[in-house]
Amino acid sequence: MADIEKAKSDPLQQLWDQINEVHAGMLGVEGSGQHLQPMAPQVEKETNSIWFFTKTDTDLVKAVKAGSHAHFCIIAKDQDYHACLAGGISENASKEHIDKFWNAHVAAWYEHGREDPLLTMLQLKVEDVSIWASTSSGLRYGWEIAKANLTSSVPDVSYHTQIKLPQTV
């Protein structure tokens, strides 16, 4: 569940928390002409990166070229938190990251496990994020709508922010 106050006070930590709670988001390479596709994110917040397991023969991997950029979008399960992340994307079959993020769900997709010849990863180095957090409380929503109609104020039921992230090595 999104917390509007946390979105205001610590939006980056809330972003990482929300990404860790979703099974998949939608990833697409800018200029590829492809639709975004569902991918399971692996967060590495210390480098502002999201890693994705995939196979070398996929259209998504083939679309990634030197200097490519991508978007990754998530919607929280309660549909009260939305985020769109953008940044540089590259294929990076880092053994360190394969080992770091490997789990039973990933293993099910690779016949030869961590040594599968098609196994690779994509690394999205997040540069900027747009976040929308809203209340999932029907009571708060109703109160804010009634108050707005009585006072001609704007309902306080959502918050939007954009963040530019520092790049790490």
Number of structural domains found in the chain: 1
Whether 159 is in a domain gets the answer: yes
pLDDT for residue 153? 75
Whether 169 is in a domain gets the answer: no
Across 19-46, average pLDDT: 96
Whether 67 is in a domain gets the answer: yes
Whether 64 is in a domain gets the answer: yes
- Domain assignment of residue 82, given as a range: 4-164
pLDDT for residue 131? 95
In this predicted structure, the answer to whether residue 1 has a pLDDT above a threshold of 60 is no
Whether 77 is in a domain gets the answer: yes
In this predicted structure, the answer to whether residue 7 has a pLDDT above a threshold of 80 is yes
DSSP letters along the chain, please? ---HHHHHH-HHHHHHHHHHH-S-EEEEETTS-PPPEEE--EEEGGGTEEEEEEETTSHHHHH--TT-EEEEEEE-TTS-EEEEEEEEEEE---HHHHHHH--HHHHTT-TTGGG-TTEEEEEEEEEEEEEEEE---HHHHHHHHHHHHHH-PPP--EEEEEEEPPP--
pLDDT for residue 32? 96
pTM of the model: 0.87
Whether 111 is in a domain gets the answer: yes
In this predicted structure, the answer to whether residue 83 has a pLDDT above a threshold of 60 is yes
Q: What is the band of 77 on the pLDDT scale with cuts at 50, 70, 90?
A: confident
CATH code for the domain in which residue 35 is found:
2.30.110.10
Across 34-53, average pLDDT: 97
For 129-151, write each residue's pLDDT tens digit. 999 988 666 666 676 577 777 78
